[in-house]
Structure 1
């Protein structure tokens, strides 16, 4: 009896982290890619990294979604580019982050350099996972039978290149065949998904009130798929702020592009359907931010955090329902 009581006492006294978990947790951060001159990072990127580390230490994370523009301004040159170390490895080096995997996609600035080298870096880094230009992730929610699929897409290959600081209009896709192949893959993956949560992640936004605004290519091709297949949410960066939008069908649009710059422009407010915008944060004096996402058997919660450990906005999206 005494042995049983002793073990029970140990269980009750155990840290929360040792108890069985009932949620999948991850951080989504975009546009964190430092700068091309020494010291190859910015104060804002460092502040975001520190807050990410504090959040993971306090609440845990199964992985990090990197939403593109991983290296400003023209990506990396080759597999041995020092930017991998100076902008990524040494900035996100806190103990709580060292064993957390990163799932990566490319942004327009990455495409101005060598994206193939970023893909190849997967074989060098233990935590950098970028197997292909577009790919599928699938997870089980701990403590339940619920599943989560994240379709990681390359919006630059799909829609064309944006030269942010020179012209905001997209060019046409460099390779139309590759764009069609990716769109075909995306359609098939979304159509066959019976997962409880269906997410798509890319760099360009579908909807944004910011400087770049909506991406017409994604409004035309992706938004109908998100609605048709009852997707939970679309995650992106590109505009350098934090936004949450939700369409009339209940699809969430999570924009997390505050990893390295902040832009408070809402010049495209008129280009987004009335009522879609629920939250916007682009305070230029801020040291950036990101989103923390938790998915359990009932819902997906999205919390927007800044680098001063403040919760700016929180919302939730339900588990998908099938007839």
Structure 2
């Protein structure tokens, strides 16, 4: 009897192990499939054929009263006007959300002082999709992620993530991949113009890179955007980011990405190289006319630059239609300065 019991016990254990294995392998295949969930544009998407959003970086106020700069306030005001006039479904917040050392906890008053009480217009009460910059990493990025649970518009689900949208009434799709370039390349100290010195954790950096490669390789989106804080190309103070030129740039070209959006340099720039658009939108809080890396970008790639204090700040409005991406660069003084059009991806 005992030996039979032993046999059935071992069979039971064996079956249990197999069942567990099946569950685990299913879980693994699900994690590697990354099923695309699409964001809901709500009622506003019913009667039109485009998606519209704003991109603003380096907008993070000040850590002492009045917690905002004149540039941030003026830019916020102009963003609200453009959002009202041209329509906006969401905002991409491209990092350096809180100067100078991020936030320390989810209860930080900075969320109120620098975000909620500045971007108050009804037209800006849309989802804000957030990524972290180097100043955010000087504080507690997890607290910014947690704040997603406290705010009805702050969307920061994890350090890096993917957004998918149906362009209403067209059958076309838009994908935006939000990166953590500080995790990928390391932090930098703006005050000594330090370049990123390599990631804090090589394991975390490589995990993000593998995830990115998989997302890009399987993307069938008609428009594919990648966003991060550090620039790939920039003519300004920080210049091109060597780490991104090595690790990200080849992927953008290989997978025919439509555009890369970033901040970090405190101005507006548009560069185009090998069919990829490079948008620098870092004029949300400070302005910097510096062009020391003018000759460090591909010849002929720079199409537009402004960082003059007289503009009072700036941001980018994007509209994705059935066949094209229209980018318009605005100064906070109330005029558009530059407009460009990128066409949808071609699959080889």
TM range (shorter): over 0.9
Q: For residue 154 of structure 2, what is the aligned residue in structure 1?
A: 128
Q: For residue 63 of structure 1, what is the aligned residue in structure 2?
A: 90
- What TM-score results when the alignment is normalised by the length of structure 2? 0.86
Match of 2:337 among 305, 312, 315: 312
Q: Report the 3-state secondary structure (helix = DSSP H, G, I; strand = E; otherwise coil) of the residue aligned with 1:170.
A: coil
Distance 1:97 1:282 in 2: 24
Give structure 1 regions of 4+ aligned residues with deviation exceeding 3 angstroms.
none
Distance 1:26 1:139 in 2: 12
RMSD, matched Cα: 1.1
Q: For residue 105 of structure 1, what is the aligned residue in structure 2?
A: 131
Distance 2:149 2:186 in 1: 28
Q: For residue 109 of structure 2, what is the aligned residue in structure 1?
A: 82
User: Is the 8 Å Cα contact of residues 88 and 123 (structure 2) preserved in structure 1?
Assistant: no
Deviations 1:113-151 (A, max 9, x none): 000000000000000000000000000111201101000
Q: For residue 144 of structure 1, what is the aligned residue in structure 2?
A: 170
Structure 1 pair 19–178 and aligned structure 2 pair: CA distance change class (3 A): closer
Match of 1:178 among 204, 210, 216: 204
- Higher Cα Rg, which structure: 2
Return 5+ residue gaps in structure 1 as ranges: 1-16
1:18 Cα deviation after fit: 9.7
Q: Report the 3-state secondary structure (helix = DSSP H, G, I; strand = E; otherwise coil) of the residue aligned with 2:191.
A: coil
Q: For residue 7 of structure 1, what is the aligned residue in structure 2?
A: none
Distance 1:306 1:30 in 2: 14
Q: Report the 3-state secondary structure (helix = DSSP H, G, I; strand = E; otherwise coil) of the residue aligned with 2:251.
A: helix
- What TM-score results when the alignment is normalised by the length of structure 1? 0.93
Distance 1:160 1:263 in 2: 23
Query: Is residue 297 of structure 1 aligned with residue 328 of structure 2?
Result: no
Q: Report the 3-state secondary structure (helix = DSSP H, G, I; strand = E; otherwise coil) of the residue aligned with 1:93.
A: coil
| More displaced 10-residue stretch of structure 1: 158-167 or 188-197 | 158-167
Distance 1:145 1:220 in 2: 35
Q: For residue 28 of structure 2, what is the aligned residue in structure 1?
A: none
Return 5+ residue gaps in structure 2 as ranges: 1-43
Distance 1:268 1:70 in 2: 25
Number of equivalences: 305
Distance 2:241 2:310 in 1: 27
Q: For residue 35 of structure 2, what is the aligned residue in structure 1?
A: none
**More helix per residue: 1 or 2?**
2
1:309 Cα deviation after fit: 1.5
User: Is the 8 Å Cα contact of residues 72 and 285 (structure 2) preserved in structure 1?
Assistant: yes
Query: Is residue 262 of structure 1 aligned with residue 262 of structure 2?
Result: no
Query: Is residue 205 of structure 1 aligned with residue 240 of structure 2?
Result: no
Q: For residue 122 of structure 2, what is the aligned residue in structure 1?
A: 95
Q: For residue 239 of structure 1, what is the aligned residue in structure 2?
A: 265
Q: For residue 164 of structure 1, what is the aligned residue in structure 2?
A: 190
Distance 1:94 1:150 in 2: 25
Q: For residue 190 of structure 1, what is the aligned residue in structure 2?
A: 216
